[in-house]
Structure 1
């Protein structure tokens, strides 16, 4: 896997060099580039065809590939960095260039030699047989199997009924229940099905789910519960204050809390005092691998499924809606299931593997033999051995993406948007003609989900996957394989000195905090002793730590610091492709961004700050327009000032304009001058955030806001006109998500928005729309799935199911004058949830009435939630 990933990475570097201006491209002869690309392509194809075999000869070849690919990267990137920083003196330029060419030619010769070795290997009879098997196994690679549900559960029907009976029983005192068992038996799946059951949703006033990792923090647990219950972000960290806030939120309410994956009695001791006993039937459900004597009832222990349950689970996952196994595969299929010894996680993983490949007896027998070998040596680690087979049988192009999941902390809710950006920046995606790298990444993610190696955690407003998770055992598998192949290394803050030797040989270094937060807060991260080969530095939960980048990190490509960077020279690391950090203050950030133009290969820059001082706009350098690789530019708190494009020179009577074809995200720009030239320069922009303030001339004329309609690939737009009345709206037909803030648009003008053919999400926030009455027009908002209205003076709202025929989610916030939600809204067949936060009593009553009416009609899917405390 490391060999294939190294070839992909080197190929990306060479492709990017070919796309750059002559200054960067001149570091090596184009004939050398094409020679390397040809050899890389040949070796990639070889590894793709023989991904299921790891004989000694092929394993030795893979090790050679890694060494040569890394050497080529070091030579090329060092040369580019030297040229950009102008480290070489004019007098020594020729000798340095000669030495560089000699070193690179040596690597090219090594690749040519490996190509010859591969051609010899391919002629052997044994390898030809392996090729036949691999092609047969992957023949059905593009088969898609749809599961019966997002969170299918087979074999726990009785347990589900028992738990629900206990949860809704007559005992009025607070009950603490538990699901106990070994990793992989399906504890979380069972708890999730209980939590999502409509009857449970109806029975309890408040519901919250929190996942607890081994490296837990009481404050993070409390913050997670408060976010679930109150629906808002809370930043304070004091445990006692958070606990008191939780206690008040739960007091006098019938609540249901799930605490998933509890590892220690200390967790319970730290939070149990914040759960009030309201004597009204409140319940807490805990899943754990340990028999913790803290509960008021005997725990449910369910170590394995019986044979019939296992077979039903297997068929459900492999065949989906077909749910039946072909007769010729039934015997070998049941052998595979028996080898999994009743462990649902192992069955699910193997099922995901078989669902993707061709259904032949030969291949299934091959998998059965592998599971039998795992059974013989598995012992207590049987489930882990079975899971390893899922990794072994992955197509080679998916292996780097899967192992990359090890960078995230245990039980981390992984943002899909972040994961995709990291995959792209790491260069571990196989390019395909006519498809963007982001599209390829989404396909790979979908494939891993369908193989049951990654779990969907949450969907966004457009029903796209927003976050995902990975089971602890699968993460352990990723970590073991990734560190064995030196693909990455995970180290804790308090053990960095002990890791110094093994860090030397790893391209990716992941730093996590230790569990002792008091000690951790006093540490300062100094990486000066780390290896120069490091290409990715990813630091999690370092909000109390300052990061200093030493000279040895000069070739760093990915920098993700989940904390503060005080180093003003962070962007002097000119090889960076991806940057995520918290800026301490605007002045330092402004000084830092002056170096932005030196980053010849920058793809993504996300700034989660500034931490200190006022959030004033930050000036971007004019050179931003000369960065062809830029894909995403975003400040999570605050705004950028984007300068006008520099004047262009004419050559042979034609304008020489660099079009930023890769640019997809631009958020948030203050007073954006969307001129015709700007529109021309960013034709593939998909996500845009704009804030207009401090106007010096007529709104819309000076800022050309109406040119938005010419951004023909734009899908998501946030527009904040800051109390300036926005009229004559005009948006591109491609728009799928629109957020308007403080625009003061008259309700009747929303017909322009309603006529957008692909609009799925509409957020009207903070005086976005003005007026007391809204009468939407039939035939508009035909694709709208999510509608959010906040802080408006809306009083009368007239609508029925024909006005929003596909609406799934309705969110109303701070609507103190709204009389009621139109009764016809409840009749929309797709509607799944209504959330009201701090609205009028009459609006709250109308929501409750809608739910009552739908329950009478047998609609248990509609969930109504009211927050008014």
Structure 2
């Protein structure tokens, strides 16, 4: 929720002031910070405890809390911006460091630079007093209304609310035949002990429908002595669940009994009988923990079927493997649609088929949406004009059809979220429809937005990854692709859930998606502004003009696919924290965004945008810099300024195509006669650095670096420095991922950090025998040997090397003979070979590795393809049907094993 996010955001700001205040700026005193933090923590705890309570009193209070938190942010950050810009202007008169910035300052008006400190402290104190007053209001609510609401018993929707109908169930089972057969096989199998089978999937995917068809199946009815169905739901009562089950199975007469007495009655009724119970819509494992002692294991094949949206609940039964339901494909979706609209005996008229399939595609394979929209169309005019109207805005039609049943069911997942996950979930809707979201980028955005609840034992990035995993476990986010270390690389977001998020975000004023194709101009006081591409450039200009006039409090400006280079960034975004654009701004405009935490831009069309790097120290709060694209074909690295060593907040600095020169850190920085060296404890990513000088001082300054990209180029007269300093890399003790490029072999006698989990070597020309230094790394999981990284005709790895290696990629080498078996790569899962025209074959022993799942081949010799086919045949004979050999599209006609589309190969070959 937006209110909780506002408290987290303000808390992060105050923590930054305590840990790393802006240099030479005195904004807050310790007493003010302590007072704010104490009251924010109290309000945050209240929202966590009362997150499921909704009412006019609570809602009005939340709005007041959000307004006060935003006001405190605006007052504090406005003052910081004023002072930093004012000091920069004054300092530029004495030094040439900010000369470019000084020229710009003279062109604009900064009305708040010289504002009164007295007024600032008065305004801030007023907000503090408002927050204290809100705390008192909360205490009154907790003492009266809150306690009453929290103590209300939770009621269950029991079996009486479930209406079974076999005839209807057959109509709704389109696309689930295979799932039905698998579940029936498990339920009627030979296992005699009591088994619990969870069906798990997102809301509306058909879990209850499938369970209903299983429950009514004649084979199930005949197989079990007793059957019972109970719906749990979010608000449940164990007492009501027990009563419902007893009523279903016709148990002994019920009188006034407590839970234990009812449970004993149920146990007696089920004892020595083969029973089948469906527990539908379970939201918490605590329900099962309370119920399982009343369900006897009669050792006769009794079964419990559970449906849930939560994968972590399903995993906690420790019985059968959870049955995961997936979205319907296009054919299944169309079949379900036609069945519901036209019935079994009728077909879709030809004139409606094209628009009908468009409507179905808009449902994204979600059975609930397809059934809902089908019900609407089945009762409406069957004309092309009306169906095209529905196709133009299917989501709006879904929200109206069936009294909004579709979105009502989906919204239960949002309402059930813990309050600390709600801002993260809402934030997912900033991405366009059908967008493949890179997890690494999403994590950085969450951190920069300040919407993560901090934990003392974990970094913000780790907390973000935990939150994403939780959303995935709740089937609100889908994993799209895994990286080489089996970490989630990309994820996707169902369009209907995105639409739900947009509605909630608009209601809570969390962000505004300014589609640029609509006429929305309500931008005033929106903390986050999302702009999307428009084909109407005139409208695009108008929307940006509106932003110039109204969005003075905007903290995030995220633009997707805006292509008009004539549109400039509005100057009024002076408090901006997150800037995600391409080439819509100038160097001058960036220089005054001193509050930035995250910046992403494309340098392809405007290399001058890198000029702000010369004044990085102005951006005192900067956490992430991501530069996409190349500098108009330039291969000359960009010089990072010396001020880079004075940015303790910096977490990630990455140029996606190109590299930097990193200056040596200053040996001392005298302040008040004392040695003042800033240790960049937050720095985790640094890519890519040309001729990286890994001195003792550099190692000391970045102790928590996790990902490093470096390249080494020799100048005509040598490196110009002692390049043996590269051997100091082993002292980066927290480094997990290293990309190492060099045009000569500098790896001889090199010691890598023992912490490395992923290593990419490029152009190093290392003899195969020298890879021993890599093979002995105890935690290495991924090794990529790219573009002549190694040289030589033979590779004979030593037994005992690469003990944890899971992924091995070899591209563009002169390798001919390769000897290897399971003793060399005992845990290998994926082998990728590309452009190996001289390699005779894949070693037969590779096929004997028990963990191997796939071999991917790209433009290799015919003999390599043949050896891969032989390995696959052997695996099939051993019953390993999951093993795959895949080859690139260029050789499809020759070889037929596991072919991949070219688009898929592009993703597989993205080793960074």
TM-score when normalising by structure 1: 0.73
Cα distance change of structure 1 residues 575 and 9 upon mapping to structure 2, 3 Å threshold: same
Tell me if the contact between 1:815 and 1:839 (Cα under 8 Å) persists in the aligned partners. yes
What displacement does 1:829 show? 1.3
User: Is 2:406 aligned against 1:383?
Assistant: yes
User: Is 2:108 aligned against 1:115?
Assistant: no
- For 1:307, which of 195, 212, 215 is the aligned residue? 212
Cα distance change of structure 1 residues 785 and 72 upon mapping to structure 2, 3 Å threshold: same
What displacement does 1:443 show? 1.1
Q: Which residue of 2 aligns with 1:706?
A: 727
Tell me if the contact between 1:569 and 1:592 (Cα under 8 Å) persists in the aligned partners. no
User: Is 2:515 aligned against 1:492?
Assistant: yes
The superposition leaves residues 330-369 of structure 1 with CA deviations (integer Å, 9 ceiling, x where unpaired) of 8599685599xxxxxxx977456976999xxxxxxxxxxx
Cα distance change of structure 1 residues 21 and 404 upon mapping to structure 2, 3 Å threshold: closer
Q: Which residue of 2 aligns with 1:511?
A: 531
The alignment partner of 1:789 has SS state of strand
Matches within 5 A, 1:462-481: 462-481=485-504
User: Is 2:586 aligned against 1:681?
Assistant: no
Cα distance change of structure 1 residues 357 and 134 upon mapping to structure 2, 3 Å threshold: farther
What displacement does 1:383 show? 2.6
- For 2:802, which of 770, 775, 781 is the aligned residue? 781
Q: Which residue of 2 aligns with 1:158?
A: 177
Matches within 5 A, 1:576-615: 576-584=596-604, 587-610=607-630, 612-615=632-635
What displacement does 1:411 show? 1.3
Q: Which residue of 2 aligns with 1:47?
A: 47
Q: Which residue of 2 aligns with 1:395?
A: 418
The superposition leaves residues 117-154 of structure 1 with CA deviations (integer Å, 9 ceiling, x where unpaired) of 11111111x411444579999xxxxxxxxxxxxxxxx9
Distance 1:349 1:559 in 2: 39
The alignment partner of 2:650 has SS state of coil
Tell me if the contact between 2:811 and 2:836 (Cα under 8 Å) persists in the aligned partners. yes
Distance 1:419 1:311 in 2: 44
- For 2:736, which of 715, 718, 732 is the aligned residue? 715
The alignment partner of 2:846 has SS state of helix
Distance 2:540 2:216 in 1: 51
Q: Which residue of 2 aligns with 1:7?
A: 7
The alignment partner of 1:123 has SS state of helix
Cα distance change of structure 1 residues 37 and 846 upon mapping to structure 2, 3 Å threshold: same
Runs of 5+ unmatched residues, structure 2: 91-110, 157-172, 182-201, 218-227, 234-239, 249-276, 284-305, 318-367, 373-397, 892-912
Cα distance change of structure 1 residues 307 and 753 upon mapping to structure 2, 3 Å threshold: same
Matches within 5 A, 1:551-562: 551-562=571-582
Cα distance change of structure 1 residues 10 and 25 upon mapping to structure 2, 3 Å threshold: farther
Cα distance change of structure 1 residues 585 and 639 upon mapping to structure 2, 3 Å threshold: farther
TM-score when normalising by structure 2: 0.69
Distance 1:714 1:685 in 2: 6
Distance 2:539 2:794 in 1: 55
- For 1:128, which of 147, 159, 162 is the aligned residue? 147
The superposition leaves residues 636-658 of structure 1 with CA deviations (integer Å, 9 ceiling, x where unpaired) of 01111111112314579963211
Distance 1:775 1:636 in 2: 35
- For 2:776, which of 755, 760, 767 is the aligned residue? 755
Distance 1:620 1:376 in 2: 52
The superposition leaves residues 11-65 of structure 1 with CA deviations (integer Å, 9 ceiling, x where unpaired) of 0011101112463661121111111111101100111110010121111111110
Q: Which residue of 1 aligns with 2:286?
A: none
Distance 2:488 2:648 in 1: 29
Tell me if the contact between 2:803 and 2:826 (Cα under 8 Å) persists in the aligned partners. yes
Distance 2:611 2:767 in 1: 42
Runs of 5+ unmatched residues, structure 1: 138-153, 163-182, 190-302, 320-325, 340-346, 359-370
Tell me if the contact between 1:596 and 1:621 (Cα under 8 Å) persists in the aligned partners. yes
Tell me if the contact between 2:659 and 2:690 (Cα under 8 Å) persists in the aligned partners. yes
Distance 1:604 1:134 in 2: 47
- For 1:636, which of 649, 653, 656 is the aligned residue? 656
User: Is 2:569 aligned against 1:549?
Assistant: yes
Tell me if the contact between 2:689 and 2:710 (Cα under 8 Å) persists in the aligned partners. yes
**What is the aligned residue count?**
686
The alignment partner of 2:517 has SS state of helix
Tell me if the contact between 2:529 and 2:557 (Cα under 8 Å) persists in the aligned partners. yes
Tell me if the contact between 1:789 and 1:813 (Cα under 8 Å) persists in the aligned partners. yes
Q: Which residue of 2 aligns with 1:80?
A: 80
Tell me if the contact between 1:49 and 1:134 (Cα under 8 Å) persists in the aligned partners. no
Tell me if the contact between 1:665 and 1:688 (Cα under 8 Å) persists in the aligned partners. yes
What displacement does 1:519 show? 8.9
Q: Which has the larger radius of gyration?
A: 2
What displacement does 1:492 show? 1.6
The superposition leaves residues 171-205 of structure 1 with CA deviations (integer Å, 9 ceiling, x where unpaired) of xxxxxxxxxxxx97659x9xxxxxxxxxxxxxxxx
Tell me if the contact between 2:735 and 2:753 (Cα under 8 Å) persists in the aligned partners. yes
The superposition leaves residues 657-685 of structure 1 with CA deviations (integer Å, 9 ceiling, x where unpaired) of 11000000000001111110000000000
- For 2:640, which of 605, 620, 625 is the aligned residue? 620
User: Pairwise CA RMSD of aligned residues?
Assistant: 3.8
Tell me if the contact between 1:564 and 1:584 (Cα under 8 Å) persists in the aligned partners. no
Cα distance change of structure 1 residues 611 and 308 upon mapping to structure 2, 3 Å threshold: farther
Distance 1:539 1:71 in 2: 26
Distance 1:92 1:463 in 2: 50
The alignment partner of 1:494 has SS state of coil
The alignment partner of 1:614 has SS state of coil
Tell me if the contact between 2:583 and 2:606 (Cα under 8 Å) persists in the aligned partners. no
Distance 1:587 1:554 in 2: 23
Cα distance change of structure 1 residues 506 and 41 upon mapping to structure 2, 3 Å threshold: same
Tell me if the contact between 1:691 and 1:720 (Cα under 8 Å) persists in the aligned partners. yes
Distance 1:95 1:512 in 2: 36
The superposition leaves residues 682-712 of structure 1 with CA deviations (integer Å, 9 ceiling, x where unpaired) of 0000000001113444699336111110000
Cα distance change of structure 1 residues 517 and 488 upon mapping to structure 2, 3 Å threshold: same
Q: Which residue of 2 aligns with 1:461?
A: 484
Tell me if the contact between 1:586 and 1:615 (Cα under 8 Å) persists in the aligned partners. no
What displacement does 1:726 show? 3.2
- For 2:685, which of 665, 673, 682 is the aligned residue? 665
Tell me if the contact between 2:279 and 2:307 (Cα under 8 Å) persists in the aligned partners. no
Distance 1:780 1:135 in 2: 58
Tell me if the contact between 1:589 and 1:618 (Cα under 8 Å) persists in the aligned partners. no
Distance 2:486 2:871 in 1: 24
Tell me if the contact between 2:82 and 2:114 (Cα under 8 Å) persists in the aligned partners. no
The superposition leaves residues 292-347 of structure 1 with CA deviations (integer Å, 9 ceiling, x where unpaired) of xxxxxxxxxxx9546145999x99x999xxxxxx98498599685599xxxxxxx9
Cα distance change of structure 1 residues 520 and 805 upon mapping to structure 2, 3 Å threshold: farther
Tell me if the contact between 2:604 and 2:630 (Cα under 8 Å) persists in the aligned partners. yes
Q: Which moved more, 1:303-312 or 1:423-432?
A: 303-312
Tell me if the contact between 1:617 and 1:639 (Cα under 8 Å) persists in the aligned partners. yes
Tell me if the contact between 1:185 and 1:304 (Cα under 8 Å) persists in the aligned partners. no
Q: Which residue of 2 aligns with 1:276?
A: none
The alignment partner of 2:581 has SS state of strand
Distance 2:630 2:50 in 1: 49
Tell me if the contact between 2:82 and 2:112 (Cα under 8 Å) persists in the aligned partners. no
Cα distance change of structure 1 residues 765 and 95 upon mapping to structure 2, 3 Å threshold: closer
Tell me if the contact between 2:614 and 2:640 (Cα under 8 Å) persists in the aligned partners. yes
What displacement does 1:483 show? 1.0
What displacement does 1:589 show? 3.2
User: Is 2:772 aligned against 1:738?
Assistant: no
The superposition leaves residues 558-607 of structure 1 with CA deviations (integer Å, 9 ceiling, x where unpaired) of 01115564445324211000001102457503422122221010000000
Q: Which residue of 2 aligns with 1:693?
A: 713
Distance 1:349 1:821 in 2: 45
The alignment partner of 1:405 has SS state of helix
Distance 1:480 1:864 in 2: 45
Tell me if the contact between 1:155 and 1:310 (Cα under 8 Å) persists in the aligned partners. no
Q: Which residue of 2 aligns with 1:449?
A: 472
